[in-house]
Amino acid sequence: MLKRLITGRHHAGQFHRHKSSFAAALAAASRLVTPKIMLSNPVSLVSNEMNTLAKNIMALIGSGHPTLNRVTSYYFEAEGKKVRPLLVLLLSRALAEIPLERRDHLKLDSEDVPEDPVYSKPPHMLLLEQPVRSFSPLHVLHGIKPLNPLTKGPEPLPQATFDHERGILPKQRRLAEIVEMIHTASLLHDDVIDYSDTRRGRPSGNVAFTNKMAVLGGDFLLGRATVSISRLRNPEVVELMSNSIANLVEGEFMQLKNTAVDNDLTTIQHGTKEIPPVSGKLDNKIHDYHVPTDQVQNVSHDQLIETAFEYYLHKTYLKTAALISKSSRAAAILSGADKSVVDQCYDFGKNLGVCFQLVDDMLDFTVAAKDLGKPAGADLELGIATAPVLYAWKEDPSLGPLIQRNFSQSGDVERTAAAVAKFDGVKRTKELAVQYRDKALQNLRNALPDSDARSALEFLTNSILTRRK
C-alpha cells in the first residue's frame, strides 16, 4: 500500500519538485489512515482522524469567551505539520497489528481505578472504550451557572469512526489530540519567550493578540489538556503526559540559563540581572551539568565540550523529544502491548525527537526565513548555542567567551556563523542526526510487525533528514 501511495505522488509532476521529501512523506503517511473512499481523491492527503483533529480539539477546549476562543484556535487554523499527532495515530495503527492474544488489554483499564463506578462494565470491553466524559458532577465543573459554556466538557468521539478490529482505539485518538494541544500551548509560550514575530507564515500569537493573551491562551490549552489526560483513566499515561508538560518547562529553563557554560548562578539574562540569594530554608540542588566556578580553570577544553554536549542533548530531549517519546509510550500502553514493546516505542520517540531537533538546529543555519515559516538565524540572535555551534567550538576554543556571553556583543553572531561554516558544524550535526535516525528505525523494527503503518513510520523517520521547514 505504501509503495502505491509513494508511486502515485510522481504523477503530480511540477508540483512535487517544490515539495521536500519530508512534506511528501507526511502526505503519504497520512493517507494510510484515510478511509478507502477518500483515497480516490488526490487532494486528500490526510486521514479522517487528521482532518477532524482541530475540530475535535476545539470541542475539548472551547471557551464561552470569544477572544479566548480566538487565541486558542489561532495556531490550529494555520497549516502546520502536525507531526506529533500523526506519529501517535500511525504508531497506534501499527500496534494494532500485534495479535490481541499477545496484548494485556484486560488488565490495563480494569485495574486503573477498580473501585470507580465507570469500571462496572465487563472487562473485555474496556480496551475499545471511549475516554470518560467527566469524573466530577457537571455542576461542580461548570461553577455558579449550570452548564456554563466557559467550562463545558469534551464532546464524545463518534463511535462509528473506529475500526474495532484493527483500527485506532478511541483513547489513542484522544491521545493524539492531547499531544497537539500540549505542543500548540508550547508554541504560544515559546513565541512570547523568544520574541518571535512570525509562526507558520503569519504573525505569531504574541504579535496578533499581545504577550499576555498568548501566555494565558497557552495556559488554558494546558489546563484543558490535563483534564483530557485524566479522562483516559490510565495512571501511567496520566503520569507520562503530565510529566511531558513539566519537561517542556525544564527544557526551556535549561535554554534560558545554560549552566554548562554559564557558571554564575547568581544572575540571569546574560548576567544583567541578579536573582535573590538562596535563603537556605529549602534544598536548591545544582544541576548535574554545572561546572563550579572554582573548578573551571582545571577543566580541559575537551571536558567542557563534552559537558556542553551532554547538556545540549538533555535540553533537546526535554524541549522536543519528551513529548514525542512519552506519547509514543502512552500509545503503546493504551494498546495493551507488553513491556518490551512499550519500551521500544518510548525509545523510538526519544531517538526520533532528538533527530528532529538536530535537523531543526541545522535549518536555522541553512534555510531562509520565508521557507522556514519563522525567523531564520534566531538561535544565535537569542544567544543559544546549538549543535553546529558546539562542533565549531570544539575546533576553535576562542568561541568559548562568545558562547558564555550569549553572542551579546557586536560581531559575535557573524563570527560564530563563520566558524560554523569553516568547521563543518552543520555537516557534523547531520551525521549525529543520522545516528539517532538509525536508532529510531531499529526501535520500530524491534517493536512492531511488518505493516503499512510501520512502513509509513519508517518513511517519515527517514525523511526527517531532508525536511526544509
Q: Give, for all 469 residues of the chain, the pLDDT tens digit.
A: 333 333 333 333 433 444 567 767 766 676 665 544 333 322 232 367 777 888 888 888 877 788 998 999 999 887 777 889 999 999 998 998 888 766 764 444 444 433 444 444 444 445 667 777 777 766 666 666 655 555 555 555 555 455 555 578 889 989 999 999 999 999 999 999 988 898 888 999 999 999 999 999 999 999 999 999 998 889 999 999 999 999 999 999 999 888 888 877 888 887 788 988 888 787 777 666 665 555 556 778 888 899 899 999 999 999 999 999 999 999 999 998 999 999 999 999 999 999 999 999 999 888 755 554 555 467 888 888 999 999 999 999 999 999 988 898 899 999 999 999 999 999 999 999 999 999 999 999 999 999 888 888 998 899 899 887 6
Residue 240 lies in a domain: no
Q: Which pLDDT value is given to residue 9? A: 34
Q: How far is CA 123 from CA 96, 119, 120, 163, 172, in A?
A: 19, 8, 8, 19, 18
Q: Which pLDDT value is given to residue 15? A: 35
Q: Which pLDDT value is given to residue 119? A: 40
CATH number, residue 299? 1.10.600.10
The predicted model scores a pTM of 0.82
Residue 394 lies in a domain: yes
Residue 156 lies in a domain: no
What are the CB-based long-range contacts (under 8 Å, 24+) for 130-136?
Answer: 130/156, 130/157, 130/159, 130/170, 130/171, 131/157, 131/170, 131/171, 131/174, 131/228, 131/231, 131/232, 131/233, 132/231, 132/233, 133/231, 134/231, 135/230, 135/231
* Domains contained in the chain, number: 1
Residue 313 lies in a domain: yes
Residue 406 lies in a domain: yes
Residue 24 lies in a domain: no
Residue 226 lies in a domain: no
Residue 295 lies in a domain: yes
The boundaries of the domain holding residue 268 are 246-464
